[in-house]
Chains A and B, each alone.
Chain A
Amino acid sequence: MNNGKISVQQMAILVLLVVIGDSILIAPSLVAHFAKEDAWISGLLGVVLGTLLAGLIYFLSRLHPHATLVQFNRTLLGKWMGGIMSSLFLLYFLLNAAAMTREIGDFITTQIMPETPLRAIHLLLVILLMWALYSGIETIARTAELLFPWFVIFFVVLLICLAPKIEIDRLLPIMGHGFMPILQGSIYVIVFPYAELTVFLMLFPLVTRNKHTNRDFILATALGGIAITAVILICILVLGPYITAHQTYPTYALAKKISIGGFLERVEAFLAIIWIISIFFKTILYAYAFLTGFSQLFHLRNERILLMPSAFLFFGLAYAISPNIIYYDYFLTNYWPLWDFTYALVIPLVLMIVHLFRRKKRAHSV
Chain B
Amino acid sequence: MKRLAFILLFVLLIALFTTGCWNRRELNTLAIQLGTGIDKIGDQYKLSVQVVDPGEVAAAKSSSTERSPVVMYKATAPSLFEAYRTMTVNSPRKIYGSHIRVLIIGESLARDGIDKVLDLFSRDAENRTDYYIMIARGTTAESVLKILTPLEKIPANKLFASLDTSSKAWAPTTAFTLDKLISQMVTEGQHPVLTGVIIKGEPKLGETQTNIKQIEPSATLTLSDLAVFKGPRLIGWLNRDESKGYNIIMDNIRSTASNIACPNGGSITLELLRSKTKVKGKVISGEPTIHVQVKTEANIAEVNCKLDIQDPMTIKYLENQAMQKTIDLMKKSVKTAQTRYNSDIFGFGQAIYRSDPKYWSTASKHWEDLFSQLQVKYKVEFFIRRTGTTGNSFVQDIKG
User: CB within 8 Å of B: which residues of A?
Assistant: 110-117, 120, 123-124, 127, 130-131, 134, 169, 172-173, 176-177, 239-240, 242-243, 256-257, 259, 265-266, 304, 307-308
Contact = CB atoms under 8 A, between A and B. Distances in A.
A169 B357 contact: no
B318 to A, nearest CB: 32
A134 B20 CA distance: 26
Interface in B1-49: 1, 4-5, 7-8, 11-12, 15, 19-20, 22-23
Contact of B129 (A124, A131, A177, A256): A256
B93 interface: no
A124 B13 CA distance: 11
A256 B186 CA distance: 20
Nearest to A117: B22
* Interface of A, helix, strand, loop or mixed by DSSP: helix
Contacts of A242: 183, 186-187
A210 B353 CA distance: 53
Contacts of A131: 8
Contacts, number: 67
Contacts of B125: 110-112, 114
B85 interface: no
B355 interface: yes
A181 to B, nearest CB: 12
Contacts of A266: 128
A111 B187 CA distance: 26
Contact of B357 (A110, A130, A177, A308): A177
Given A176-B357, A242-B186, A242-B187, A115 B128 contact: no
Given A173-B357, A256-B129, A113 B22 contact: yes
Contacts of B23: 113-116
B309 interface: no
Nearest to B24: A115
A120 B23 CA distance: 12
B357 to A, nearest CB: 3
B19 A120 contact: yes
B130 A259 contact: yes
B182 interface: yes
Contact of A169 (B179, B183, B354, B356): B354
Nearest to A259: B130
Given A120-B19, A127-B12, A134-B5, 11 more contacts: A112-B125, A114-B125, A116-B22, A120-B22, A127-B11, A130-B4, A134-B1, A173-B353, A176-B354, A304-B4, A308-B7
A257 B177 CA distance: 11
Contact of A172 (B15, B126, B187, B354): B354
20 contacts: A110-B125, A111-B125, A123-B11, A123-B15, A124-B12, A127-B8, A127-B11, A127-B12, A127-B15, A134-B5, A172-B355, A173-B353, A173-B354, A173-B355, A239-B179, A239-B183, A242-B183, A243-B179, A256-B128, A304-B1
